[in-house]
Amino acid sequence: MGVIGLQRRRAACGAALLSMSLAAAGSSLVTASAGAVSFQPFYEYAISFSGKGSYNRTLSAEGGSTLKEEASWTWTTRYPDVLIPTKASSPLEASGFPAYGLGQEGDGTWSITNTGSEDEDCSNSGTLGLPKDAGGAGGGSVTVKRPAGGSKGVIFNIVALEGYETTSGGGDGALACDPESYWHDIIESFAGVGYKHTDPDLPDVKPLTAKIQFSPSELKHATVTKHVSVGAAEMVPSDCGSGGGVTCQQDYTWSGSVKFTKHKFKK
């Protein structure tokens, strides 16, 4: 075999090895360095993020009239397979790793009650479901980064409900209790969660965002549960537009838990 043929064969073998390594990322990444082959191990988790939240708005006018809207919801979002390299030196770090949640699943419930106006007194409830995108991953996300300053461990950033759809109880939007899309109409648009901040210096975040740090010892445990709650960047101002004889007050909050269960990669 000539030199050119040998080079082509080596290039083909290298491409095949890289393809096989990425396809089997859950168990190991095979790399060649100075003639030695090393195996990059991974942690794999099933992650469940669940909780409950509420959004309340009260309009009080001079003379004593009051209009109150009370919205609440529950949710559970599941990522069956989330992979992260066990070492910060993983070559996949530079290509967007570690962490990707495949096959996300999600569901929830919602309710709204409006009181204080004869024309708008109403109540309604229904269910929520997480839509599937073209890749089957659904809404929300799980990403992981290493702590700054060379600290060991990892930091999980989890978004639970991005793109949640109303699967029952929805209406035509004529009344507050009959939203066409509960999550979009009430939480993202009306309340402005994630961008109507209490402090203009805070970054935009998506509703139900949890930031969780794992220590090296926690990464060794079979299961870890973290309790989480609303952060400053996700909160909305308490004053929702007072003026002209009207006082508008609102509050948005949530709390929940995230359970991490380590399991073996299924080939």
The pLDDT tens digits of the residues spanning 154-210 come to 778 888 766 688 999 999 988 888 999 998 899 988 999 988 888 888 888 888 889
| Per-residue pLDDT, 87 | 63
pLDDT band at 236 (very low <50, low <70, confident <90, very high): very high
Q: Which residue has the higher pLDDT, 230 or 116?
A: 230
| Per-residue pLDDT, 223 | 94
The C-alpha atoms of residue 9 and residue 71 are separated, in whole angstroms, by: 64
Question: For the chain, what is the largest distance between any 2 Cα atoms, rounded to a whole number of angstroms?
Answer: 96
Burial group, residue 95, by CB count within 10 angstroms (0-12, 13-18, 19+): exposed
**Buried-state track 22-59, b at ≥16 Cβ within 10 A, e below 16:** eeebbeebeeeeeeeeeebebbbbbbbbbbebebbbbb
Asked whether 249 and 238 are in contact (CB, 8 A), the reply is: yes
Quote the percentage of the chain above a pLDDT of 90: 31
pLDDT band at 8 (very low <50, low <70, confident <90, very high): very low
The C-alpha atoms of residue 26 and residue 44 are separated, in whole angstroms, by: 7
pLDDT digits (tens, 9 = 90+) for 58-116: 999 887 789 999 999 999 988 887 877 666 555 545 544 445 555 678 889 999 999 98
The C-alpha atoms of residue 96 and residue 85 are separated, in whole angstroms, by: 12
State in Å, rounded, how far the first CA of the chain is from the last one.
37
Say what the pTM is: 0.76
The C-alpha atoms of residue 258 and residue 81 are separated, in whole angstroms, by: 14
